[in-house]
Chain A
Amino acid sequence: MKVSYYPGCTLKNAARNFEDSTIFSLNQLGVSVEELKKWYCCGTVFSMAADDLIHHLAPIRNLIRVKEAGSDSVMTMCAMCYNTLKRANKKMLDEPDSLEKINNFMTEEEVNYEGDVKIQHLLELLRDDIHFDAIAEKIVKPLKQLKVSGYYGCLLVRPREIGFDDPESPTILENLVSALGAEPVDFPYKTECCGAYQTVDKPNLVADKTYHILESAKDNGAEIVVVSCPLCAFNLDQRQKDVAREFPGFNTIPVLYFTQLMAIALGGTEENLGFDLHYIDPRPILKEKGLI
């Protein structure tokens, strides 16, 4: 199986471990990952104003690059890229007039866009095309006795027509975690926003959100939290520095991309895992469980 891959900006710097662990895991699962030859920043957030078409140009141009690569679908891992690309595509399908205006504006593009590229998140690819039971069969190192909470945040599940699981009570991460041999830990804050981009302007607000989300995961028994968004990862991992300052007595907890756990289970080494990019080092708990 081959998939066209749109990385997005952060997977080439702060979230390199997200990309490395994904490519390693997909190769182990027999999937060849073909990064688009040319791509741009998607804009990171979907423009929600009815009249603001200019900000949909970047996602639509990326979807044209997918068509030029001879593909009719594109896979991405970043929750923000996924949401932005998929919502922009949906807007084009729902509003033929907007699509016509955008096509007329992009005079230099050789391909007319028709809303015909499928945007797929890696979790959907794993669940729907590869299947979790097939992943379970390829595991070389089951994540035995590791208690893992899946944190969804906002953009994998909202809005309802864009998300690929229940917006209030998703289970796809728990199902994957089980397939990897770990013990999934449900917790009530799994779809509570981490504060997202408020981290630039209001880091204290984000530290407060991070504290409550992580305390809830720990109270339910989690030893590790997994995410699928580089911004959630930053807020939940790096902002623990601010949490420790504001909430004395706070015990830290490692935050990983779900693909890093999958890579460990599929036989990955530290070279595919990029633990140097973490603020809270996940190695002690992984060593304790005999996983690295």
Chain B
Amino acid sequence: MKIILSRQIINDPFVAKVEELSGQNLLACYQCGKCSAGCPNVCEMDILPNQIIRYAQLGLKDELLGSKSIWVCASCMTCDVRCPKGINVAEVLEAIRLILLRQRKDHLDVQNLSDAEKTEVPPIALISSMRKFTS
């Protein structure tokens, strides 16, 4: 994948927005990779959790907003408890999801779920997935 870095991209308001929504200092990350090493869903991700932080530091908005990873995260917070720099990585992924959801770009289309799919799962599953993946 070709990545273009520039002062303009790094200064994109996207970086400040991710920091504001997540409440995290992205520059604290020194890329040790513990978040990715412990992530239970990393095998399904296209950009690994430590790479997400790096991309966010560099303002790579389009790559992050288009990534599969943000919808694979289950907010299990294993990355959060293992980060030696105290960064809440799951909150950073939540912030990126929210930037899309607040533009009504839903990930889960509830109307497309069949009755069987909806009745099979308990209410706790439906409500939590709607809270995480719809606007």
Contacts and interface: CB of A to CB of B under 8 A. Distances in A.
Bound pair (A, B): yes
Interface of A: 8-10, 13-15, 41, 43-45, 47-52, 55, 78, 80, 154, 158-160, 167-168, 191-193, 195-202, 205, 209, 230-231, 234, 238
A49 B75 CA distance: 12
A178 to B, nearest CB: 26
B124 A49 contact: no
Interface in B62-94: 71-72, 74-78, 80-81, 88, 90-91, 94
B80 A158 contact: yes
B128 A197 contact: yes
A13 B123 contact: yes
Contacts, number: 121
A159 B75 contact: no
Given A159-B81, A160-B81, A199 B121 contact: yes
Contact of A50 (B21, B121, B125): B21
B2 interface: no
Contact of B91 (A48, A80, A195, A205): A48
> Which of the listed residues B75, B88, B120 has the most CB atoms from chain A within 10 Å of its own CB?
B75
Contact of A49 (B94, B117, B123): B94
14 contacts: A44-B128, A45-B75, A48-B75, A48-B91, A80-B128, A154-B78, A158-B80, A192-B40, A196-B74, A198-B72, A199-B125, A199-B129, A209-B40, A231-B125
Q: Name the interface size band of chain B.
A: 35 or more
A40 B5 CA distance: 48
A49 B126 CA distance: 20
A193 B81 contact: no
B76 A231 contact: no
Given A45-B132, A158-B78, 4 more contacts: A8-B124, A44-B128, A45-B75, A49-B95
B98 interface: yes
> Which of the listed residues A15, A52, A154, A192 has the most CB atoms from chain B within 10 Å of its own CB?
A154
A197 B129 contact: yes
A10 B107 contact: no
Residues of A contacting B: mostly = loop
> Which of the listed residues B71, B77, B94 has the most CB atoms from chain A within 10 Å of its own CB?
B77
B133 interface: yes
> Which of the listed residues B23, B107, B121, B131 has the most CB atoms from chain A within 10 Å of its own CB?
B121
Contact of B124 (A10, A167, A202): A10
B41 A80 contact: no
> Which of the listed residues A55, A160, A196, A197 has the most CB atoms from chain B within 10 Å of its own CB?
A197
B74 A195 contact: yes
A12 to B, nearest CB: 9
B125 A193 contact: no
Nearest to A157: B81
A197 B132 contact: yes
Given A197-B132, A198-B72, A230 B122 contact: yes
A14 B117 CA distance: 15
A159 B90 CA distance: 11
B98 A49 contact: yes
Given A48-B94, A49-B22, A209-B40, A80 B124 contact: yes
A9 B124 contact: yes
> Which of the listed residues A80, A193, A230, A231 has the most CB atoms from chain B within 10 Å of its own CB?
A193
Given A154-B78, A231-B128, A50 B122 contact: no
B11 to A, nearest CB: 21
A198 B74 contact: yes
Contact of B122 (A10, A154, A195, A205): A10
Contacts of B108: 200-201
B127 interface: yes
A45 B72 contact: no
Contacts of A8: 124
